[in-house]
Chains A and B, each alone.
Chain A
């Protein structure tokens, strides 16, 4: 390993106050270069010598630690601007491959060719988070469907749960193509893989698919099992990531019993174990999970475009998601009020407990068997978010009613 001044490791050149030990034959050249450097202050000189004495591989391992623990882009970018050596080593593919997810938390207003290039570098170095983030940005924001999907696939192959789930959503909705490009079975398969990795939204989505027989043979009890598991994981996630023990993790307003309401499925099928209430239906309100940098980027990107991703297109009404439609009427809407749209059942569930439960009021009654969301904000609605209503809002496949 050669350091900047051409010294070979494991030799260490000490500060000129200490004894200098040379073992290699080329010490004459080093002596000359050593004497040539002028010292302004011994303090800085001491530090510089020591930094120089660190061989490249050790600096790389320091930078790897730095990049993998970075909590924002500037944590890491600072180092790249200090000097040539750090710049070169910082862009080494080993360092870039370990960069953390939060380093890619680019603000949409700061997006530039350079940011794009940095993400590309990291993706090429094999960083799975970079592949996923760049894939999402390219697919939804830059409208480059093919490249975006293939980057997400690359991340998915490395078992990145969010990438698998995002690809599942794309398959379910036929995003980037026509209505006939929907591939429900592929969506379920991808969703299942993400669910087995513990992704909460994927678990919910899979649970609902099993209950509805959507893309997979109907199995209501199995579906319910997944929904219950999603709730359990959500709760576990809150406990495991709670940083501040003094603040209450979640609010708990125990209800006398879960709010009873007519659910069409149980009425029709006679106790098949229909849907599954969310935690919030029992009065337990866990805080929403932190959005992934890619989702946050998309929300900001489209917010800057007045929330309109294109002519006649809408965004997913769940604010933590940020996905746009890629063709008209791609997303399904709340069958009770019809004012909000969601890209997936999981987003619908999350938004229901976060805000829609309080504001959803039936404007029209759909007369079909998938019917009917239950009475919600009307009943117990004085505190936002508590009071039990099951997530009884079923989405219709299309806005157009069957005529």
Chain B
């Protein structure tokens, strides 16, 4: 039973965790899963299409929705998408992606850069 919280969800009217747009994306996923049960390639294609135009904000909402609905496969997939998006990009790109600001002290940041200098080679300039 993939949707353990669905029943609760429908009973719970004041729920803002999952907005309408997100629900329409996430909920059809289990049906599609069942139809293409063993065929991984098709599932991948379907998922690629689904997430081609999704911005990070949407992705975060999708993750939260999948988590709330206790839908493990979708959660894994969305997390993997985020991971692929930030893989081997520069520090600034990752900051921009998540909308973060560096909250290190200046000395601290330099120290960390030095500490991890051994790992830096061949980073995408994207």
Contacts and interface: CB of A to CB of B under 8 A. Distances in A.
A78 B98 contact: no
Contacts of B87: 66, 69-71, 75
17 contacts: A47-B98, A47-B99, A48-B100, A50-B61, A51-B99, A65-B79, A66-B83, A74-B119, A74-B123, A75-B87, A78-B90, A81-B91, A82-B91, A83-B101, A107-B118, A114-B115, A118-B118
Contact of A62 (B79, B103, B104, B121): B79
Interface in B85-119: 86-91, 94-95, 98-104, 109, 112-119
A86 to B, nearest CB: 7
A50 B99 CA distance: 9
Given A71-B88, A86-B100, A106 B119 contact: yes
B17 A111 contact: no
Nearest to A69: B83
Given A19-B16, A21-B14, A82 B119 contact: no
Contacts of B83: 62-63, 65-66, 69
Please tell me the size bucket of the interface on A. 35 or more
Interface string A43-85: 1111110110110001001111110011111111111111111
Top 6 A-B residue pairs of the complex, sorted by shortest distance between their CB atoms = A47-B99, A73-B119, A66-B83, A65-B83, A110-B118, A77-B119
Main secondary structure of the interface of A (DSSP, over half): helix
Interface in A113-152: 114-115, 118
B82 interface: yes
Interface string A255-284: 000000000000000000000000000000
A79 B86 contact: yes
Given A10-B17, A46-B57, A58-B64, A78 B113 contact: no
A146 B36 CA distance: 52
Contacts of B74: none
Contact of A51 (B60, B75, B116): B60
Contact of B84 (A21, A69, A84): A69
Given A62-B83, A70-B87, A84-B104, A48 B118 contact: no
B28 interface: no
Looking at A64, A82, A86, A115, which has the most chain B CB atoms within 10 Å of its CB? A82
Interface in B6-60: 14, 16-17, 56-57, 60
Contact of B79 (A53, A58, A70, A76): A58
A80 to B, nearest CB: 7
Looking at B63, B102, B116, which has the most chain A CB atoms within 10 Å of its CB? B116
A74 B88 contact: yes
Contacts of B95: 82-83
Contact of A72 (B56, B68, B122): B122
Given A74-B122, A78-B88, A51 B79 contact: no
Contact of A112 (B89, B109, B117): B117
A33 interface: no
Contact of B112 (A73, A85, A87): A87
Interface in A152-178: none
A107 B121 contact: yes
Given A74-B122, A107-B121, 6 more contacts: A72-B88, A78-B89, A79-B86, A79-B94, A81-B91, A110-B119
Contacts of B60: 50-51, 53-54
Contact of A83 (B80, B88, B103, B123): B103
A186 interface: no
Contacts of A118: 116, 118-119
A397 interface: no
A69 B118 contact: no
Contacts of B89: 78
A102 B122 CA distance: 14
Looking at A10, A62, A86, which has the most chain B CB atoms within 10 Å of its CB? A62
A12 B104 CA distance: 26
B57 A65 contact: no
Nearest to A23: B14
Given A10-B68, A69-B83, A50 B116 contact: no
A233 B60 CA distance: 43
A74 B121 contact: yes
B64 A53 contact: yes
Nearest to A49: B99
Interface string A11-48: 01010000101000000000000000000000111111
Contact of A66 (B57, B86, B109): B86
Contacts of A51: 60, 98-100
Contacts of A47: 56-57, 98-99
Contact of A61 (B17, B79, B115): B79
Nearest to B104: A84
Given A10-B68, A46-B99, A78-B89, A111 B80 contact: no
